[in-house]
Amino acid sequence: MTELGRILTEDELADALEDCDAIIIEFDPLTKKVLDQAKNLKVIASVRGGAHANVDVDAVTKRGIPIFNVPGRNQDTVADFTIGMMIAVSRGISKGNLLIKNRVITDDKTYVENGFCVTDVNWVGSTPEKFAYLQYKGPTLAGKTMGLVGFGAIGRETAKRALAFDMKVLAYDPFVKQEDISADIRLVELEELMAESDFVSIHLPVNDGTRGIVSAEILGKMKPTAYLINTARAAVMDYDKLIEMLQKDELAGAALDVYPVEPLPNNHPLLELDNVVLTPHIGGCSMDPYDRSYDKLFTELSLFLDGGMPEKVYNPEFANY
């Protein structure tokens, strides 16, 4: 037996699966080596939108084993988080929180500016113009333009939320047609999206077509007043260029949940910037996706074990073997 709360090694997983007919899996390495020892395995339930991250799908398929998965399991969770990151970075919520918790208070004077009295809020400097109230005047979302790089399930949920804030929404996705989406959302080329958007949010998977697509050249087209949010994957974007732009105030700010190296090293330049909000790859985490995922997988496994088959499986080619 192995303890709970960590990813199993290949050998540990192979031993655990020796007599199993089915497995529910999320992170553990279901490799060909493991499969070769799991002689009785008949079905795999992956608690992920895409099983390729930890399952050798080709080997599984050639064994004639179906994979059930949960596409779009956390689309609303990530969309909520994206909007939260957008507001946090543009309205100084994260910086304001740190300001109070770090007790950055210089004195307790009372100032009256244009008829407005400010008392005991001199948390960033000794003159009225440096008050937090005056310094953290970020943009109101209504009327601003949000650009979504990628318009799959998460991008569409994010668009719905942006529209509810009375934002204009642009989207880039070469696999989507304008006639298939809401007229409130305008499909454009990536260069136009970057140049016109006040907020750019990344919602792309990593594959051969997307790796590095948000290049230095593409980033350079953004407005200096714009913000960038990435809750997707680091490999789709040039982080060196992004950091350079943030250091030179060529962008208003960025909110990042994913990084080229995780966790970030102690000397990483992002840690020195005060125009970024950083979170530890938690955009897809909430209780609801897991409840929905296990409900769906339980239903599909029950159907399979009773001799049926769900309408959709992750690897439909399994039936050819």
Strand 110-113 and strand 116-119: the pairing is antiparallel
Which of the following is catalytic: 73, 161, 203, 233?
233
The candidate with the shortest Cα–Cα distance to 242, out of 209, 202, 281, is: 202
Instruction: Encode burial over 88-127: b for 16+ CB neighbours within 10 A, e otherwise.
Output: bbbbbbbbbeebeeeeeeeeeeeeeeeeeebeeebbbeee
281 as an active site residue: the answer is: yes
Residue 318 has phi, psi (to 5 degrees) of -55, -30
Q: Which structure tokens are listed for 141?
A: 């979302």
233 as an active site residue: the answer is: yes
Q: Which structure tokens are listed for 248?
A: 């030179």
Which of the following is catalytic: 129, 189, 217, 262?
262
Cα–Cα distance measured from residue 85 to residue 254, given in angstroms and rounded to the nearest whole number: 9
Cα–Cα distance measured from residue 133 to residue 123, given in angstroms and rounded to the nearest whole number: 9
Strand 67-68 and strand 43-46: the pairing is parallel
Q: Which structure tokens are listed for 238?
A: 């040039």
Which of the following is catalytic: 186, 268, 281, 292?
281
Q: Which positions are catalytic?
A: 233, 262, 281
